[in-house]
């Protein structure tokens, strides 16, 4: 979002007017920002055959999926329901990678029937898969490289104590299972976590994958996951995508020469593509002064945006109703019967009841992690595309709360 002549807008559309038109709380996404992020990532790896698999768990609205497909993206899914959403959005099965964790073998079978690429991270499931399909269904294996990386332990997935991936130290066991059941392994995968700054983390992981890849002679791709860090506030250090692209591409090309054939390089970004494109608009319900704190209480809570409470995530907050007022210190909180603090001791232009506050960087893991806690309704979603605002999800109603409940006579 941009500040022009004292008013915040996306593609020239005034944000406060969007709050009035669609109500609050509301998620608003900028298609142009998603496109620029996609193009930047695509352009950072010119030397390799790159496939970008959007990690749709970050934002699963079907219109966002269709948008990314139109830009040339493919899809990374973590549940069979996400797979079905991807197919509904128009992705072909060949464009979808299915990377589950701790699911039943029955769900794996559903995904096989849908024709998508299966990515397994559990030796037990690998054995069941081999016993069922042998070499008739190609598969990818997710390895745990034992690299601690990411901005928060809860989003670090490649360390030794993680539930994700098969330990690289179990490679001999993997090879025994693959050989016993004649499994067609066509890809290797890793994902060490989110908010990774250093290109060296990807290079360390690459060396581990390259070493493991020497044991598989039919690979078609290597998937390096993602985890690129975006800016949460002004001056934030972010992942230098161009540096990662240059260094990792060079290492990948050298490996392919050693391996004997050209492989595809896969990435599965989520936050990098959609986070900065999203803004969450809320209305101030109350301004409450206590002896120590001034609270700005808004018409939302952890039921709509849980990242600050779950991950200690920082979202910059601005008062778009009063962009030039005197700065005062507020703690911005929600309306849920829990301690749901969005921002502690933030300097905002003076906030009055009724003012619209905007949370920046809210495109990823915002609506997709929303709930009906306290029997609250989930918000609307709006996509600004080609200079026009489109409603892409209606605000829930009380009927939605009751929809699947079964009332019995008591």
Supply 163's token pair. Answer: 């539930």
Give, in order, the Cα–Cα distances in Å from 38 to each of 56, 61, 242, 361, 375.
14, 17, 13, 16, 37
pLDDT truncated to tens, each residue of the chain (410 aa)?
999 999 999 999 999 999 999 999 999 999 999 999 999 999 999 889 999 999 999 999 999 999 999 999 999 999 999 999 999 999 999 999 999 998 999 999 999 999 999 999 999 999 999 999 999 999 999 999 887 544 444 434 444 566 778 999 999 999 999 999 999 999 999 977 656 666 777 888 889 999 999 999 999 999 998 888 888 877 777 888 998 899 999 999 999 999 999 999 999 999 999 999 999 999 999 999 999 999 999 999 999 999 999 999 999 999 999 999 999 999 999 999 999 999 999 999 999 999 999 999 999 999 999 999 999 999 999 999 999 999 999 999 999 999 999 999 99
Q: Is 140 left (phi over 0), alpha (psi -120 to 50) or beta?
A: beta
Residue entry with tokens 């139109």:
70
Instruction: Assess whether 337 carries a catalytic annotation.
Output: yes
Q: Which DSSP symbol is given to 94?
A: G
Do you find a cis peptide bond into 9, omega within 30 degrees of 0?
no
At residue 50, the 3 state secondary structure works out as strand
The torsion region of residue 190 among left (phi > 0), alpha (psi -120 to 50) and beta comes to beta
Region of 235 (left: φ > 0; alpha: ψ -120 to 50; beta: rest) is left
403 annotated as belonging to a binding site for a ligand: no
pLDDT value, residue 146: 82
DSSP 118-170: EEE--HHHHHHHHHHHTTSS-EEEEEE-----SSSGGGB-SSTT-SSSEEGGG
Whether the CB-CB separation of 385 and 31 falls below 8 Å is answered with: yes
* pLDDT the model gives residue 150: 46
pLDDT of residue 159: 42
Which residues are within 8 A (CB) of 104 and not within 5 positions of it... i.e. 6 or more apart? none
Q: Is 283 annotated as contributing to ligand binding? A: no
Sign of CA dihedral 30, 359, 401, 373: positive
Residue 105 tokens, joined: 């073998």
pLDDT of 153 reads 46
Strands 294-298 and 278-289, bridge-based pairing: antiparallel
Q: How far apart (Å, rounded) are the C-alpha atoms in residues 367 and 23?
A: 16
Map out the domains of the chain with their CATH numbers: 2-28+277-402 (2.40.37.10), 44-273 (3.20.20.10)
* 3-class SS of residue 7: strand
For residues 300-332, one letter each, b for 16 or more C-beta atoms within 10 angstroms of the residue's C-beta and e for the rest, the string is: bbbbbbbbbbebebbbbbbbbbbeeeeeeebbb
Q: Is residue 407 part of an annotated ligand binding site?
A: no
Residue 145: how many other CB atoms lie within 10 Å: 23
Is there a contact between 150 and 192 (Cβ–Cβ < 8 Å)? yes
Q: What is the pTM of this model?
A: 0.93
Rounded Cα–Cα distance for residues 59 and 250 (Å): 32
Backbone region of residue 89 per phi and psi (left: phi > 0; alpha: psi in -120 to 50; beta: other values): alpha
Compute the 3-state secondary structure of the chain and give helix, strand, coil in percent, each to the nearest 5.
35, 25, 40
Asked whether the beta carbons of 52 and 305 are under 8 A apart, the reply is no
Q: Are 369 and 299 in contact (CB under 8 A)?
A: no
pLDDT on residue 194: 55
The pLDDT value given to residue 154: 41
Instruction: Please state, in angstroms and rounded to a whole number, the distance separating the CA atoms of residues 118 and 110.
Output: 11
CB-based contacts of 163, cutoff 8 Å, min separation 6: 101, 102
307 annotated as belonging to a binding site for a ligand: yes
Tell whether the torsion through CA atoms of 24, 26, 31 and 35 is positive or negative: positive
Does 23 belong to an annotated binding site?
Answer: no
Active-site residue, selected from the candidate residues 77, 102, 256, 337: 337
- CA atoms of 386 and 338, how far apart (whole Å): 39
């Amino acid at each position: 979002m941009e500040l022009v002549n004292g008013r915040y807008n996306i593609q020239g559309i005034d944000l406060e007017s969007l709050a009035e038109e669609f109500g609050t709380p509301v998620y608003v996404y900028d298609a142009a920002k998603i496109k620029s992020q996609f193009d930047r990532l695509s352009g950072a790896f010119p030397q390799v055959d790159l496939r970008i698999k959007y990690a749709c768990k970050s934002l699963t609205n079907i219109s966002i999926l269709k948008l990314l497909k139109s830009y040339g993206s493919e899809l990374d899914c973590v549940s069979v329901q996400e797979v079905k959403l991807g197919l509904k959005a128009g992705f072909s099965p060949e464009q979808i990678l299915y990377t589950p964790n701790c699911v039943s073998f029955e769900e794996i079978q559903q995904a096989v029937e849908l024709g998508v690429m299966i990515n397994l991270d559990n030796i037990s499931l690998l054995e069941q898969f081999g016993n069922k399909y042998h070499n008739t269904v190609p598969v990818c294996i997710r390895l745990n490289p034992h690299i601690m990386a990411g901005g928060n332990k809860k989003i670090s997935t490649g360390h030794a104590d993680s539930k994700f991936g098969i330990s690289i130290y179990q490679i001999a066991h993997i090879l025994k299972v693959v050989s016993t059941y004649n499994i067609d392994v066509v890809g290797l995968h890793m994902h060490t976590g989110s908010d990774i700054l250093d290109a060296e983390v990807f290079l360390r992981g690459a060396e581990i994958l390259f070493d493991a890849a020497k044991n598989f002679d039919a690979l078609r791709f290597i998937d390096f996951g993602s985890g690129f860090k975006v800016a949460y506030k002004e001056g934030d250090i972010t992942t230098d995508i161009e540096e990662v692209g240059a260094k990792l591409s060079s290492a990948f090309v050298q490996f392919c020469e050693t391996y004997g054939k050209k492989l595809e390089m896969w990435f599965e970004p989520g936050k990098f593509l959609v986070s900065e494109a999203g803004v969450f608009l809320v209305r101030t319900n109350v301004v409450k002064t206590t002896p120590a704190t001034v609270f700005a209480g808004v018409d939302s809570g952890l039921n709509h945006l849980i990242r600050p409470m779950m991950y200690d995530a920082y979202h910059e907050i601005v008062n778009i109703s009063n962009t030039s007022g005197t700065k005062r210190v507020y703690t911005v909180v929600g309306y849920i019967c829990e301690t749901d603090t969005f921002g502690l001791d933030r300097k905002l232009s003076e906030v009055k009841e009724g003012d619209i506050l905007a949370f920046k960087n809210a495109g990823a893991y915002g609506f997709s992690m929303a709930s009906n806690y306290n029997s609250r309704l989930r918000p609307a979603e709006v996509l600004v595309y080609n200079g026009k605002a489109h409603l892409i999800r209606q605000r829930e109603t009380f009927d939605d709360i009751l929809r699947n409940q079964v009332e019995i006579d008591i």
